[in-house]
Amino acid sequence: METNIYPIEIEFEEYQISRLQYSEEKLKELREQHNNTHSFFRNGDYIYISNMDGDDSVRLGETFTASTYSDDKITASLIKHIFFRTFKERFSHIVPVSFYPFRIYSTRESDDLVRALLPDHLKDVISYKKLIEIQLRLLEKDGQPYFGLVIRTNRKWLLNKNCKELRQEGFDLIGCEVLHSEHLLGLEGILAPNEEFIGKIKSVTGGLAVVATNFGDQTIPLIELSLIKTTGNIKAYLTFATTEQECDRIFSEIEKGKAEYLNPKKEFKEIASIARMLSTGRGSDNQLLHLNKDGFCFKISTTPLSSQQSSFELKTPTFVFDPAANRTEAIYPDRGLSNFGPYDSLNFDTKSPNVLAICAKDNRGSFSTFMANLVDGLPNSKYFKKGLKKKYDLNDIHLEIREVNSTTYEEYNSIVSDIDRKPDMAIIEIPGNFKKLPDNQNPYYRLKAQLLTLEIPVQFVLQEKVRNHDEYLLNSIALQIYAKLGGTPWVLTSSQSVDREIIIGIGHSVIRSNAFSGNEQSRVVGISTFFSSDGQYLLSNKAKEVPYEEYFEELLTNLKDSFARLQEVQGWKDGDTIRLIFHIFKPIKNVEFDVVSELIRQYSQYRIQFAFVTISKKHPYMLFDSSQTGTQGYRRHIKGQFVPQRKSNLILDSSTCLVQMLGPQQIKTNRHGASAPILIRIRLPQGNYNAESIEELLFTDIQYITQQIYSFSYLSWRGFLPGETPATMLYSDLISQLLGKLRKIEGWQANVLNFNLKRKKWFL
């Protein structure tokens, strides 16, 4: 298995570099006088200087001896600057889009996927080009640190005309979202202008536009503005410059070619080609030496990092369907449910649920059939013969179907407000066009808020799916309904390494009114979901939206409350070993280690360890398997070439691991492209923090943590297939996202979720 990481070869452990005491004025002065020959960057209290092409007799600072890896931030900055200047010397015709991450557009005509489809007058005006992105990372192999370049490619639309030119052509700019371009002083032809997404054009007078921004209306010259390169804007201009039929034809051709240009095999080969271009001299296979005049030098490997010695075997968990763990299934949880029934069948307290079902009057026939099939099953199906009632060992389902004359909130609300006896569950048919409505006007969120306020979990079903349901849809909906009623369909075999292990998921969502620069956004934190080591959903702490700045204080408050409840529920005893694993959405600050360790020390009667773990899909790393020939998918198309099998992994260092969550079997079509693995990282204190003071409290086994996260990806009761992220993060994110939407509904109070709904998966 290969990666998109190309190691950087440095043959020395120390090097010398010039530096000066930092001041903003001094840094500006140095760049103005010596930017053509030197690079300058700040680290801490110093300005560091790299002489690329200057006079050796000119001394700009004192000499400092740096350690290649102990002073890794200085080394990393030096590598970036030498790499950038070497690239510009070799490829002076290419103007990078950004310094870091280093981004360039391919100049090959074949890498512009729209060029051959355009009329001659639009070639190089509109383009759909390959964007190459390169990042630098400090990694570890066999206990030794090293730097590596991480190479990725993407596709981006370009429109090579500013708003002044578009206006002169007669293109209507009113209402268009625009970028403001700013040329960086002294970097013309070296670095592309900085572009900022500022707002919408309100009016145009002469060569000036009034733009509505987050700082109020601003008047800006049209020559400094350009359209943001969304598919919608490109289509609008292409339609203007040609015809609607021609625009549709071009986009249809691009769509047809997706399977080819998104092919992971092709992407792997393209990345390898880029790496060779960066690492070797022209007309030579010898590695190019990147160096400055101070003696710092490095080479870029032509061979990517592989996983031959840096991976381990991840095991698919065993699914358990009774508290004694006698009824188990090794592969498919759905098969276990069909054979044994749910895990908590014997003590589930809603054996005969009352269900309120609401549908449109003109769809009553289809909806009645849907509900009958949901409750009783499809006799000739493979996965849903038993139906909700028998598959989940329910005694009966008391169903009341009510109709609405029109799908408005008022019609639905008239039924909800007229409930005589509170049901255990509501199932509501809704039209697909609800998705287009603003959150605060959307009947979906208004109804959800109303029903949750009444402590009634709700399952929405699109009208189109009601009419065209099959066993797969019914099977997933039945699973969600049982979980929303408070049931536990299955758990996992638990670890016996500690007396108690609690996994705490902390999710978030970002709420903002628009994407323009200067927009005030709030990050809503879902605090938090608690799981036992076997995957049982223990409880959700106070379900309330917490501003980002307050999340940690809220977490500590809730941890104390949860400890008190868990001690009682789980019967903790003095001397028990307890492990807390936090699955969290952001890197942790050092102060947070202090506060959590101080909290733990308040429970001296237990032996407690903890770990902060981040789980991310947003990172530059990729995994490839050149031996993977793919599998046959829809219409016999081959999908998943060069995509590693699910659970393939690579340990990047002692606290970081990549895990492939979507293999060839999980990828749906041959147009999916390469599937990014998730990045699992155990967070440790940074900088000059005295880690020895809390070392005994930290749990740092990356293989154990990775296996646990992988196992928890099989616990999403939204469906039977394993997910890309563990249930801890999925549930916490779902809670925070829903809270972020519901907070816009007038009269909503999140406190209602902290009572009877607390142990029910109302957010699925």
Q: Is the peptide bond before 406 cis (omega within 30 degrees of 0)?
A: no
How buried is 149 (Cβ within 10 angstroms: 0-12 exposed, 13-18 middle, 19+ buried)?
A: buried
Give the contacts of 746 (CB within 8 A, at least 6 positions apart).
440
Residue-level pLDDT at 545: 61
How buried is 347 (Cβ within 10 angstroms: 0-12 exposed, 13-18 middle, 19+ buried)?
A: exposed
Q: What is the CA radius of gyration of the chain?
A: 29
Residue-level pLDDT at 391: 97
* CA dist., res. 346 & res. 681, Å (int): 39
Q: DSSP secondary structure string, 237-282? A: HHHHHS-HHHHHHHHHHHHHTHHHHT-HHHHHHHHHHHHHHHHB-T
Q: DSSP secondary structure string, 527-586? A: EEEEEETT--EEEE----EEEGGGHHHHHHHHHHHHHHHHHHHHT--TT-EEEEEEEESS
Count of alpha carbons within 13 angstroms of residue 753, beta-carbon side: 28
User: Running DSSP on this structure, what letter comes out for residue 318?
Assistant: P
Residue-level pLDDT at 428: 97
Residue-level pLDDT at 309: 67
β pairing state of 216-221 and 678-683: unpaired
Count of alpha carbons within 13 angstroms of residue 479, beta-carbon side: 24
Tokens of 607: 């032996």
Query: Could you tell me the sign of the dihedral formed by the alpha carbons of 66, 68, 71, 77, in that order?
Result: positive
CA dihedral 637, 643, 648, 653 (to 10 degrees): -160
* CA dist., res. 227 & res. 587, Å (int): 35
pLDDT in tens, 633-646: 766 778 888 999 99
Stated as kind and residue range, the H or E segment containing 375 is: helix 364-376
CB atoms within 10 A of CB 168: 11
Residue-level pLDDT at 633: 75
* CA dist., res. 688 & res. 679, Å (int): 25
- Please tell me the total number of residues recorded for the chain in this structure: 764
Beta bridge partners of 46: 21, 43
pLDDT in tens, 652-687: 999 999 999 998 888 887 777 777 899 999 999 887
For the chain, domains (ranges, CATH) are 1-105+146-152+268-299 (no CATH), 320-484 (3.40.50.2300), 491-615+681-742 (3.30.420.10), 622-676 (no CATH)
* CA dist., res. 31 & res. 679, Å (int): 38
Amino acid at 131: L
Name the 3-class secondary structure at 128: strand
| Sole residue written with tokens 């060569």 | 207
CB atoms within 10 A of CB 116: 10
Label residues 531-559 b or e (16+ Cβ within 10 Å = b): bbbbbbbbbbbbbbbbeeeebbebbeebb
Question: Quick one: which of 621, 596, 590, 629 has its CA closest to 610?
Answer: 596
Q: DSSP secondary structure string, 202-238? A: EEEETTEEEEEEBTEEEEEEGGGEEE---HHHHHHHH
Could you list the mean pLDDT of each consecutive 10-residue stretch along the chain, which spans 764 residues? Answer: 95 95 93 90 94 82 94 96 94 92 94 94 94 96 93 94 95 93 68 83 93 89 93 94 95 87 90 94 82 94 85 93 93 94 94 97 95 96 94 96 94 90 95 89 94 95 96 96 95 80 80 62 64 76 62 73 78 90 83 83 90 93 92 78 93 95 85 84 87 88 95 91 89 82 86 80 87
Tokens of 695: 């070392």
Name the 3-class secondary structure at 435: helix
Residue-level pLDDT at 612: 93
